[in-house]
Chain A
């Protein structure tokens, strides 16, 4: 419905805006002027496509969550059986906790790192343009390709273990991505590395709007670096924090390709997330109904956290 309302309200706004235009004044006919350009039904093709691609496809996928469809052939409606199976299965619950750990871990560390880098590269530093590009690079590169490079780095015969051996810590060498304790942290490192640049760009846009005069005034009043950041900069970039954390959480909750490339969910499910489970159930193990149910659960979780996040970080309580 929002999609239908928006063009209509814009069309309704047009004549009023026209009246305010200098020179348009009295000659403008109230209803049939050249600025009255648009009807709500012009949006129909777009609405039809959005409806068909987003809502119908998602709806059909959602319907299969209540069936025992294997991906081919016939199926039976099984009610909530797939959802019961999810909440009884320790693997799925493990995947849920991994998903939350990776999402919140990558948002927290990625945003802190992004903010620190943005503050550092905001002004003064001469090489800041080159450094910004370098820090933003991981966002532009293919997550799958970079994940394979990381996989090589963390490989048992890879550069990390070679480095440890070179500095005399060879006994610490381990198959990082197949170690039950370390695998999830290794994945987290890769996720933080890839999300930092994105957070940095958002914080930089926020920092550009912070007036230098206010910071200078605070400095003259005797505020130290931390006080200036805490009481001047941070409140001013609050909208940027809201956007960076919300997008980060949504991205973190549905992360898929780096994990598939790094560990495939292993060792023995230690890095399995809801997204990798959705893929495995629906496509690798021929349990399309179970996969669809898991996808619905994931969508609900993303929705809940996105809304919560927006409410917690909004700058104006009346928004």
Chain B
């Protein structure tokens, strides 16, 4: 009897297990084939509107994108925005993965051009971004149309104009006898500062974005001041990096700066903390960082004044050239279910008072009304004349075809500083990456 009962129980268990044996792989297959729900929020009835917003964060300070969106919620009480902040170093990869999987936020922060993982052109080409309306078209900076879309369509709404040049600790610069006006006096000041245990530049040699930005700043007056359309010529194969005297001179200048003692000690292994520490403490006078950082540095280092400056040109002060471009944009996810709410937010953000407010929050320049902007007295007073004279262009890597070109430049410059590579080798690697 006992064994029969045991058998019966087991038999019943077998049937249950048969069902289970079939159910588990079926469920597993369903999960694995991606039948999961989107994390995007949805519109609810009753007039309220919801959408989600993804942006990159790189420090503990509140993101300007979040502040702007919170202002929007305050002025539009029926709107609820879900924030999806992502660490800056993994933002590109997360954004691409989420767009591919169909669960990206409704509004995502992108970059113009095709030089990075978050760039508008490849994402739009893959059908992940929604074409935007006239409000976004009006905000595309002059000469940057091709980096915001193609065939007359625009896929990103510029948020601000970011200057990529030098951010300097003016207090430290004044103590060192003023900021040098040309490249030869710059070298002399480097030597003088080095002998007093300080440096003219703080460099994050182990952080490729920083070495790349320095090289592009050196190329500003040597390549793009002479020929603002140089990138177009490179794209048309009329020139190459290795064949460009300007680019060669720019990378040779890295060696010149190194030999003159312009960088802090141990610069080759420095991270971004070396820049923030050096500039905030005044042991370094300036750094090759995006201009909006002046505001964060000034709030971190009480007592010191910070300002944005162009890198002195080799040919003299009259030849200086700046990179000023819209480096970030709002885009709408083509798979979004809340496009109306997202578009309403973008239209609101495109209004002149909002673009001005956003620039003030971030410490950047407004994307509209730059002609009437008052440069005097602010952090941008040293670059006002160049902007008004039109001596600026978009950051070059925005127009490069892929992120491998910039990576070759950035890691190559670290190699020049450590003596592993020559300028020619770096330029050849950039040409090879261009064709990938």
User: Which residues does A use to contact B, with CB under 8 Å?
Assistant: 32, 34, 37, 41-42, 44-45, 48-49, 52-53, 56, 70-74, 155-157, 174-180, 263-264, 266-270, 280, 283-287
The 8 A CB mask of B60-75 against A (1 = contact, 0 = none) is: 0000000000000000
Q: Collect the chain A residues with CB atoms within 8 Å of residue B20's CB.
A: 45
Stretch at the interface among B48-56, B144-152, B265-273, B368-376: B265-273
Contact A285 B205, beta carbon cutoff 8 Å: no
Contact status B402-A175, CB under 8 Å: no
What are 9 A-to-B residue pairs whose CB atoms are below 8 Å? A32-B7, A48-B29, A156-B269, A175-B270, A266-B208, A266-B414, A267-B206, A284-B407, A286-B404
Q: Which residues of B contact A (CB under 8 A)?
A: 3, 6-7, 10, 17, 20-21, 24-25, 28-29, 32, 92-93, 96, 99-100, 117, 122-123, 125-128, 205-206, 208, 265-270, 402-404, 407, 411-412, 414-415, 417-421, 436
Inter-chain contact B7/A45, CB cutoff 8 Å: no
Q: How far is the CA of A157 from the CA of B270 in the complex (A)?
A: 10
> Looking at chain B's contact residues, is the secondary structure mostly helix, strand, loop, or mixed?
helix
Beyond A32-B7, A71-B100, A178-B206, 14 extra complex contacts between A and B, CB < 8 Å:
A34-B3, A45-B28, A48-B24, A56-B32, A74-B126, A156-B265, A174-B266, A175-B205, A175-B267, A179-B268, A180-B418, A266-B411, A268-B415, A287-B436
Q: Is the CB of B28 within 8 A of A72?
A: no
Residues of B within 8 A of A155 (CB): 266, 269
- What is the chain B residue whose CB lies nearest that of A85? B436
CB within 8 Å for A178 and B24 given contacts A34-B3, A286-B402? no
Instruction: Find out whether the CB atom of B411 lies under 8 angstroms from the CB atom of A180.
Output: no
Instruction: Evaluate contact between A264 and B122: CB separation under 8 angstroms.
Output: no
B29 and A284: CB pair below 8 A?
no
Residues of B within 8 Å of A287, CB to CB, are 404, 436
Do A52 and B28 touch across chains, with their CB atoms under 8 A apart?
A: yes
Q: Is the CB of B206 within 8 A of A266?
A: yes
**Contact of B420 with A267 in the complex, beta carbons under 8 Å:** yes
List of 8 A-B pairs having minimum Cβ-Cβ separation, nearest first:
A156-B266, A268-B415, A175-B269, A73-B126, A178-B269, A48-B25, A45-B24, A178-B268
Return chain A residues, CB-CB under 8 Å to B122: 70, 72-73, 286
- CB distance A52 to B403 under 8 Å? no
CA distance A300 to B10 in the complex (A): 46
User: Shortest beta-carbon distance, B369 to chain A, in Å?
Assistant: 35
Give chain B residues whose Cβ lies under 8 Å from the Cβ of A45: 20-21, 24-25, 28
User: Nearest Cβ distance between residue B12 and chain A, in whole angstroms?
Assistant: 14
Report the bound CA distance from A68 to B64 in whole Å. Answer: 37
Q: Which residue of A lies closest to B124 (CB)?
A: A73
